[in-house]
Amino acid sequence: MGGLEESAMDGKSGNIRNLAYEKLIRELSRENTNRVIENSNPEHARVVISEILNRAINEVNIVTDRFDERFYRELEPRLLLFFEEGKKMRILTYSAERNSLLLRLKRLYPNQIEIRTIPDSIKEKLFIHDERNEKEGSYINFIIDDTSGVRYEVFENIGEDATLALVNFGDQEFHDILKRVFEDVWKEAGGTPQ
């Protein structure tokens, strides 16, 4: 990958790369730039998700394996601010497991966060097969705001604590496709919100 996407975060050079990446993400977001950039390491993923939370007007939608507590714990101050701003979050998870952070957020903001588990009967619709091996692949995971911000995970795992994802703040068509996918699965997941 190289450049801003390097995952080595040693000393001052790592901090400079993180600051440069944050600056790039804020700039692309502010300009609603239709430019796809890769996003792979956890620190960069947090930068992108924080920006998506910032730019949301009313709501953020997430499709995820699980709301990874280890990952989201470092975003907790930003999540609390998101909810304090009166914004809402809808989360679809592949796993019915709920961690302590997610349960606490639900308790603190019961009218602002909804969680549904994706039923087994529709999980296959969200599985992307690896072109090289039909038995391999991963379930789609993404986060979108209610404007045009998208972070879409392409593959489940590309290394230790790394997931290849694409980020775009200006492709309204792609955003709207993911929004329709989310709404369709949300309806099919139906039932009583958790």
| Tens of pLDDT, residues 52-110 | 999 999 999 999 988 889 999 999 999 999 999 999 999 999 988 888 999 999 999 99
Tell me, what's the pLDDT at 9? 38
Q: Which of 151, 152, 144, 153 is nearest to 176 (CA)?
A: 144
Entry pTM = 0.85
What CA–CA distances, in Å, run from 75 to 115, 132, 187, 189?
Answer: 18, 36, 28, 27
Residue whose entry in the numeric block shows the structure tokens 């920006």: 51
Tell me, what's the pLDDT at 152? 94
List, in order of start, the domains of the chain with CATH numbers.
9-189 (3.30.870.10)
Tell me, what's the pLDDT at 97? 84
Other C-beta atoms lying within 10 Å of the C-beta of residue 38:
14
Average pLDDT, the chain: 85
